[in-house]
Amino acid sequence: MAIAASGAVSFSDLRTEFVGGSSAISFSDLYRGGSNILSKAGDNPAVNMAASVPTSGLIDMQDFYSTAKAFKNTISSSTTNVDADALFGDDYDVAYPKIIDINSGVTIGGSGDEAIDIPSGLASTLTINNAGTVIGFGGASAGAAGGSAINCAVSGVTINNSGQISGGGGAGNVGGAGGNGSYTTSSIVYIYNTSNRWVWDGEANNGYVTYNGSNYSSWYGYFSQTYTSNGGGIYRGSLAGSANGGHTAFYRLGQSQSTTHSSTGGSGGSFGVGAGYNQSATNGGSGAAGGTNAGAGGAGSNGAALGTAAANSTAGANGNASNGAASNAGGAAGAAVAGQSVSMNNTGTLHGAVA
C-alpha cells in the first residue's frame, strides 16, 4: 500500500511498506539503492515508485509522499502480444514487487499467441490492474482452439479486473463428406454377325453404326423391321446408298446392355471462425449435394463466441455405395487466464476459464 500523498507519515508506515517485520528502523535503512528500496536496472522501462527517495545525504518524511515499494509499468496505448518480463527488464527476476496498469480504452490483443504472457522467472509478486480490454485470438482454421487472453507460468500473480478479459472462441469445423453412389444405364445393342460384328448403340454412340471403330451415319436411315424370330427382332439396313440394295439381316442379341457408373458424395460445408482479437465469429456453410445416389455433405459448424468452444460439424449423408464421413470436432475455447492459478478480483467482464 502506497504512502500517503500528504499529512503525517510515521516510521511504522515506512517499515510496513518498505522493510517489513516489527524491528526499529532508521532513515539509513531507507535510502534508495539499498536492500529495502531498490534502484532500477538500466534496461527496466518501468517506473520506480520510490524514485523520489534519495540515494544518500539528507532525507526526510516528505521524500516518501506517494511512494511505494514497486516497479510499475503502465500500458497506455493498444498493442499485441505483451511479454511481462520485457516490461521490467533485468528486474523481472529480482525479488521486488511489480505492477502492470492497463488503462481504460486500451486493447491488448493476442495475435497468434496469448495477449499477455507471464513467463517463468518472476521473483516476488506481480499485480495487474486492468481497466482496458485483454482479448485472445479466435480460432481461424478448421477445428482450431481460441487463444487465451493471459497465460501465467508462475505463482504470486494478482489480477484486479474492472475491464474485460476474454479468451478467443474456438473455430468450427468442416462438415463430413457425403458417401459415394453408383447407378446403371442401359442401351439396346444389335450385331450383324459373329464375324463382322456390325453394332448399333442408340445411346452411347448417338445413333451411329460402327464397324471396326468407324462410324457410318447413313446406315441408320435404312433400318426396317421385317419380322420377329427367336425372341428378337430381325432388322435390315443398307451400308451406304440405296434403300433397295445391299440389305443384310441384323439379329438383336439382347434387349439391353447395362453399364455401371460411380458418383461422388458432396463435399462438407465450410467452417466458421471463432470470435477473438480483430475477428468476429462467422457461421459454417451448408454441405454440397452429391451425385446420383450419393450422399450430401454435412454442414460445417459455426465459429464460437468469446471464451466458448465450437460445436462439432455434421456428418455426411450415406450414399448407396459407401457411408458418409463422420462429423469433425469444433475448436476448444480460449481461457481468460490459463496456466498457474492467479488471485482474481473481478468487477468487470470475463469470458472463459480462470486458472
Q: Is residue 149 part of a domain?
A: yes
Return the pLDDT at 285: 98
For residue 150, the SS3 value is strand
- pLDDT single digits (tens) 191-219: 443 334 444 433 333 344 444 444 444 33
Print the domain residue range for 138. Answer: 70-176+274-355
What letter represents residue 340's amino acid?
Q
| Residue 332 C-alpha from the chain's centroid | 9
Domains of the chain: total: 3
If asked whether residues 33 and 95 sit together in one domain, one would say no
Q: Hey, what's the cell of 211?
A: 464397324
d(CA 276, CA 134): 10
If asked whether residues 74 and 58 sit together in one domain, one would say no
- pLDDT single digits (tens) 239-258: 333 343 343 433 333 345 67
d(CA 275, CA 149): 12
Residue pair 289/181 in contact (Cβ under 8 Å)? The answer is no
d(CA 72, CA 127): 9
* Of 174, 353, 168, 173, residue with least CA distance to 278: 168
- pLDDT single digits (tens) 297-331: 999 999 999 999 999 999 999 999 999 999 999 99
d(CA 218, CA 223): 10
* Of 108, 81, 90, residue with least CA distance to 46: 90
The region that residue 59 occupies, defined by phi over 0 for left and psi between -120 and 50 for alpha, beta otherwise, is beta
Q: What is the pTM of this model?
A: 0.80
Q: Is residue 123 part of a domain?
A: yes
At which of 212, 235, 263 does a domain end?
Answer: 263
Return the pLDDT at 257: 61
If asked whether residues 161 and 188 sit together in one domain, one would say no
Give the residue ranges of the chain where pLDDT is below 70: 187-257
At which of 68, 92, 111 does a domain end?
Answer: 68
If asked whether residues 259 and 284 sit together in one domain, one would say no
At which of 20, 51, 68 does a domain end?
Answer: 68
If asked whether residues 197 and 167 sit together in one domain, one would say no
What letter represents residue 4's amino acid?
A
Q: Is residue 201 part of a domain?
A: yes
